[in-house]
Amino acid sequence: MSATTASFPTRVFKQWDKLALLQLAAAATRLHEENEELARQLSWAEQSAEMWADQAQRMQLDLCELTNSAPGITQNCDLVFVERQQALALELHA
């Protein structure tokens, strides 16, 4: 076997290794960029959810003030509003 024929497979494997590393680097870059975008979207969604929860809570408190009631939750997890007198009586029995 001559030196040129013995080195041919070695050259091919080295080229494949370089190509594989380039593909791996491109995939890693793409995944990094995708991860950053998803992190931005998650942050926006969390902020949006917090804003809506705060707004819902403010509306609930406003409704309680307007109707002279207190918020409550049933055993089925339904949100209800109970007259303050009734709410005080329920608290005394608890």
List, in order, residues 6 or more apart from 50 with CB less than 8 Å away: none
Q: Break the chain into its structural domains and give their ranges.
A: 3-93
Residues of the chain with pLDDT under 70: 1-6, 87-94
Q: What is the pTM (predicted TM-score) of this model?
A: 0.61
Q: What Cα–Cα distance (Å) separates residue 5 from each residue in 10, 11, 15, 16, 49?
A: 9, 10, 16, 18, 66
